[in-house]
Amino acid sequence: MSELEPGRLIGSGKEAEVFEYGREVLKLYRLGIAKRSAFREAAILAIIEAFDVPAPRTLGVRTVGERWGVIMTRADGPSFAEAMGGRTEALPVYMKAMVRLQLAIHRHEAVLLPDLKPRLMDRIRRATILGAARQGRLLDRLADMPAGDRLCHGDFHPFNVMGEPDNACIVDWLDATRGEPAADACRSYLLMRGVEPTWASAYLDAYATESGLSPNDILGWLPILAAARLAENVPSETETLMATVDATSV
């Protein structure tokens, strides 16, 4: 049986595009993105099928031309980011739903996934803009942080949660690891702060309330995650990330 051809484009990001694929979707990585990314995301989705988290199911990996993609079940509905828009009255509802979803993720022990701390270490080393002295201080600080063994999404923000607050699906699991929940929460805070600071502030308050962690427990990871984010080469964030590293490093 011949494979389907990708249908209508329904989503687009820095590394991949998502197309209709019959009743399912095809997440197609852009040219230049390594083959291993598609297989890694497919494997992660297969691993987390055993967990009670709302995520797409992986159905296969295929190529279209020279691009690699993952076939998966479809996550319906607008993203939380689209649904919130400029509606300030909707913010508490969606942030509380996001926090509860993330805490549901963090309940699971992720023995089959790679550790978060070595990944952060590698990214800090690749962020040469930091300079050797900053890198050394940050790597020492990272070494002193707890490792953790919980499932961490790694890219959890309102654009990656689809549907309604009481019936949502979490997408884009490529960066999932085994690590410390506070680090995953801090990553979410950092990503949201770069898009809409009011989201970040509301999220931090909601996560602290629901988790029992203090904001300081979460923000203790901030200089490390800001430094690691520099390796992702988002020029519009470079100045703010460097300022965050310098303001919070010791």
Q: What is the pLDDT of residues 117-175, one digit of tens each?
A: 999 999 999 999 999 999 999 999 999 999 999 999 999 999 999 999 999 999 999 99
CATH number at 147 reads 3.90.1200.10
Q: How confident is the model at residue 1 (pLDDT cuts 50, 70, 90)?
A: very low
Taking CA atoms, 147 is separated from 70, 118, 142, 210, in Å, by 30, 10, 9, 22
**140 plus 169 within the same structural domain:** yes
Tokens of 45: 């989705």
Number of other CB atoms surrounding residue 221 within 10 Å: 26
Q: How confident is the model at residue 86 (pLDDT cuts 50, 70, 90)?
A: confident
Q: How confident is the model at residue 2 (pLDDT cuts 50, 70, 90)?
A: low
Query: How far apart are alpha carbons 194 and 239 in whole angstroms?
Result: 11
Number of other CB atoms surrounding residue 248 within 10 Å: 15
Expressed in angstroms, the distance from the first to the final Cα of the chain is 60
Query: How far apart are alpha carbons 54 and 34 in whole angstroms?
Result: 27
- Residue 224 is assigned to a structural domain of this protein: yes
Q: Among residues 25, 44, 72, which one ends one of the domains? A: 72
For residue 40, give its domain range.
9-72
- Range list of β-strands (E), the chain: 9-12, 16-21, 24-29, 58-64, 67-72, 150-152, 161-164, 167-170, 177-179
- Residue 147 is assigned to a structural domain of this protein: yes
Q: Is the pLDDT of residue 249 over 80?
A: no
Q: Determine what percent of the chain is predicted with pLDDT higher than 70.
A: 98
Q: Among residues 25, 41, 72, which one ends one of the domains? A: 72
In this structure, which amino acid lies at residue 115?
D
Q: Among residues 72, 91, 111, which one ends one of the domains? A: 72
Query: How far apart are alpha carbons 26 and 68 in whole angstroms?
Result: 10
Q: How confident is the model at residue 240 (pLDDT cuts 50, 70, 90)?
A: very high
115's torsion region: left (phi>0), alpha (psi -120 to 50) or beta?
beta
Mean pLDDT for the stretch of residues 164-189: 97
Using the structure block, give the residue that is written with the tokens 């499932």: 151
Residue 3: predicted pLDDT: 79
- Residue 3 is assigned to a structural domain of this protein: no
Please, what is the average pLDDT of the chain?
95
Q: How confident is the model at residue 52 (pLDDT cuts 50, 70, 90)?
A: confident
Taking CA atoms, 103 is separated from 90, 126, 134, in Å, by 20, 30, 32
Mean pLDDT for the stretch of residues 76-101: 92
Q: Which residues have a Cβ under 8 Å from the Cβ of 52 and sit 6 or more positions away?
A: 104, 108
Residue 88: predicted pLDDT: 84
What DSSP character marks residue 169?
Answer: E
**244 plus 122 within the same structural domain:** yes
Give the number of domains in the chain.
2
**Beta-strand pair 24-29/161-164:** unpaired
